[in-house]
């Protein structure tokens, strides 16, 4: 029985790379360009998939590998982004204070509580979860696209069959 390509290994490696690059504050901004890190992660997963497997890999396997790469990247980038968001809570509090001081009567008490350092992360957990789910879907789609692109780039040709006489 012919062995199958290791889709999970390729997806984990490429997802880790794409997730870290997507989660870092300034470097992650590149994802604004059509989720570029995620597409490149899908291409990387296809490269890893084909380089460790001697036979041609099916396009569906490339797409699945890219999809999983996007899902893993979403999880990793969210984990990386949460501490940066928590650290920026004080900055956000100052921004809101400035806005409400200039244009309103002050920060409403509920918003003050949400922006306090401890309340900021706890109050926004449902938003983190919703953001993670949305990000997993979007990154999965773009990862699958990257996997298909990578499959086309790194496609191994099947050796011509020799007719038997």
Instruction: Give the DSSP letter string of 37-87.
Output: HHHHHHHHHHHHHHHT-SSPPPHHHHHHHHHHHHHHHHHHHHHHHHHHHHH
Nearest to 72 by CA among 138, 139, 26, 142: 139
CA distance 73 to 67: 10
pTM of the model: 0.80
Task: Read off the pLDDT of residues 16-73 as tens digits, 9 standing for 90 and up.
Answer: 999 999 999 889 888 888 899 999 999 999 999 999 788 899 999 999 999 999 999 9
Task: Read off the pLDDT of residues 106-152 as tens digits, 9 standing for 90 and up.
Answer: 666 776 666 555 545 566 778 888 999 999 999 999 999 999 999 99
């Amino acid at each position: 029985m012919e062995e199958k390509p290791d889709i999970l290994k390729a997806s984990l490696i490429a997802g880790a790379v794409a997730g870290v690059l997507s989660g870092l504050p300034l470097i992650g901004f590149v994802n604004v360009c059509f989720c570029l890190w995620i597409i490149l992660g899908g291409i990387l997963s296809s490269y890893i998939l084909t380089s460790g497997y001697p036979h041609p890999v099916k396009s569906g396997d490339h797409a699945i590998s890219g999809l999983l790469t996007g899902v893993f990247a979403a999880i990793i980038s969210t984990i990386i982004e949460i501490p940066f968001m928590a650290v920026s809570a004080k900055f956000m509090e100052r921004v809101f204070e400035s806005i409400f001081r200039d244009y309103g009567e002050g920060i409403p008490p509920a918003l003050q509580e949400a922006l306090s350092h401890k309340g900021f992360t706890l109050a926004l957990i449902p938003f983190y979860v919703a953001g993670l789910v949305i990000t997993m879907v979007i990154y999965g789609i773009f990862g699958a696209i990257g996997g298909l692109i990578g499959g086309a780039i790194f496609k191994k040709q099947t050796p011509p069959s020799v007719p038997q006489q």
